[in-house]
Amino acid sequence: MEDATQRLGYRVKRAAAALRGALDRALREHDLTVPQYACLELLDQRPGLSNAELARGTFVTRQSMNTVLRGLQDSGLITRPAAADHGRALPAHLTEQGRRRLDAARSAVYAVDQRMTDAVPPERLADLLADLDRMAAAFER
C-alpha cells in the first residue's frame, strides 16, 4: 500500500493547515478569525459586497458568512442596512473602526505570508504559483 503522506493532495493540505494555524495565531492578537480578516480585506477592496459574494471570496458557506458578518457588525467593524433596498442582499461596508482593525492585522498576516514565501527558493516561486493556479483550475472545469 502506498504512503498517503507522499501524495500531492496530502502535502497541499499539510501546507494549508500550517498556514491556517499561523494565521490563527497572528490574528488572535487582533481579536479576529481568518474568515473575519478575509471578509474585512474583501470589503476594503470592494465595498458593498453581499453575503453570498463574501462567502465565495472567503471560501466559507453562506451560513458561516452570516455568522461572520453578525460578529463583525456586533463588534462595530462593519455596517449593513437593516433591510435590503431590492432583493435580499444586504451590502456590507467597513466602519472606521473596521478599517483600523484591518490595517493593524494586515501587517501580521503579511508577515505570515512572507515567511511562507521565504521558504521557496526565489527562482522557483513563479513556477510554484503557476502550478498552484493550474491545480485549482483542474477542479473548476
pLDDT, tens digit (0-9, with 9 covering 90-100), for 36-68: 999 999 999 999 999 999 999 999 999 999 999
pLDDT of residue 2: 87
pLDDT of residue 83: 72
Please list, in sequence order, all residues whose beta carbon lies within 8 angstroms of the beta carbon of residue 57, skipping any fewer than 6 positions away: 38, 42, 49
What is the grid cell recorded at 26? 497572528
Whole-model pTM: value is: 0.88
- Give residue 87's pLDDT: 61
Cell matching residue 109? 498576516
Whether 90 has a pLDDT exceeding 90, the answer reads no
- What is the model's pLDDT at position 1? 73
For residue 112, what is its C-alpha cell?
505570515
What pLDDT is stored for residue 92 in this prediction?
A: 92
Q: Phi, psi at residue 79, to the nearest 5°?
A: -125, 150
Determine the Cα–Cα distance for residues 106 and 70; give it in Å rounded to an integer. 21
Share of the chain above pLDDT 90, in %: 87
Delineate the domains of the chain, giving CATH numbers in brackets. Answer: 8-137 (1.10.10.10)
Averaged confidence pLDDT in the chain: 93
Q: For 55, phi and psi rounded to 5 degrees?
A: -60, -45
Who's near 119: CB < 8 A, 6+ residues apart?
A: none
